[in-house]
Amino acid sequence: MMCSWEVGLLTSNETYEQVHASMSALGLTTAESILDNWIGAATEQNLSVIDVLNHLFNQEISSRRDSAIKTRTKLSGFPVKKSLDDFDFEFQTSIDKKVMNELRTLRFVNNAENLILLGPSGVGKTHIAIGLGMDAIKAGFSVYFINSATMIEKLKMAAQRGNLERKLKTLNKYKLLIIDEIGYLPFDSEASNLFFRLISKRYEHASTIFTSNKSYSEWGEIFGDPVIATAILDRVLHHSVTMNIKGDSYRLRSRKKSGLFPTFG
Ligand SMILES: Nc1ncnc2c1ncn2[C@@H]1O[C@H](COP(=O)(O)OP(=O)(O)OP(=O)(O)O)[C@@H](O)[C@H]1O
Ligand SMILES: [Mg+2]
């Protein structure tokens, strides 16, 4: 008996053209591009129609997923690409692998909990934040990375232009917001108030990762006012995990090894 694809091809070139046109009209570009190969494979390997359809749909879904990940990664604002698979946990022994594995399940994003990465320069805070952000993008969450000083600048500009609410709404729509480098530069009182408004909006609603080289006891200095610092910390810490990373800067490890840089402590 002749395979049904073969019958289709031999008896109706018009139908074949129409299938291509319909796939194209439906935007099934990947499936359409591999349709002819699969028609060939179906004939050669005697595959069933359902097998072929299954392969075509799977390829379409996986290429759509890949391109959605690419687009979301491009829009995420990551300054560089980092993956947790490239993170050397043997070098950074102060990180509890159990905690890291739990974070990688992304339950904290689902539960709108926060993660605060504290530690000195070069210990991998930004790397971990981006790595978790990449995991979250792959899992289908909307993610945005922003440096805290840049974010404040943007919020101030929005306030001046009368679009603060809209800007806050935009930042609030991300399921995971990563605010990098809190406390590297002190906030003036307008900056602290804007930061508080953002935190209040995201509180118990969406997840935020913060990185900082300052301990919580120093956050009062960052925000210039202990009352606002307490109000911010209260909301940030209510549902949160803190990862206190100790140890040497990864940036300096090779220089230390070669004796080009003095070791601290
Ligand atoms: N344990 C590690 N394994 C692999 N690479 C690491 C590790 N720790 C840090 N790095 C790399 O070292 C560099 C510095 O790390 P990162 O930028 O994350 O540090 P940081 O804690 O954010 O520092 P800073 O406070 O100065 O911003 C990056 O290129 C990062 O990928
Ligand atoms: Mg950093």
pLDDT digits (tens, 9 = 90+) for 38-76: 999 998 999 999 999 999 999 999 999 999 999 999 999
Nearest CA, atom 25, ligand 1 = 121
Pocket test for ligand 1, best of 86, 123, 132, 210 (most atoms within 8 A of CB): 123
Query: For residue 81, what are the β-bridge partners?
Result: none
Residue 182 and residue 203: Cα distance in Å, rounded?
A: 17
Residue 17 and residue 12: Cα distance in Å, rounded?
A: 9
92 close to ligand 1 (CB < 6 Angstrom): yes
184 close to ligand 1 (CB < 6 Angstrom): no
**pLDDT confidence tier of residue 262, bands split at 50, 70 and 90:** low
pLDDT of residue 32 exceeding 70: yes
Q: pLDDT digit string (tens) for 102-133?
A: 999 999 999 999 999 999 999 999 999 999 99
Helix, strand, coil fractions of the chain, as percent rounded to 5: 60, 10, 30
Q: What pTM value is reported for the model? A: 0.86
Q: Indicate the range of 91-100, 142-151, 248-257 predicted with least confidence.
A: 248-257
Q: pLDDT digit string (tens) for 235-259?
A: 999 999 999 999 889 988 866 665 5
**What are residue 246's phi and psi, to 5 degrees?**
-115, 165
Cα separations (Å) of 47 from 11, 39, 53, 144, 216?
19, 9, 10, 44, 63
251 close to ligand 1 (CB < 6 Angstrom): yes
122 close to ligand 1 (CB < 6 Angstrom): yes
pLDDT at 12: 78
Residue 235 and residue 138: Cα distance in Å, rounded?
A: 28
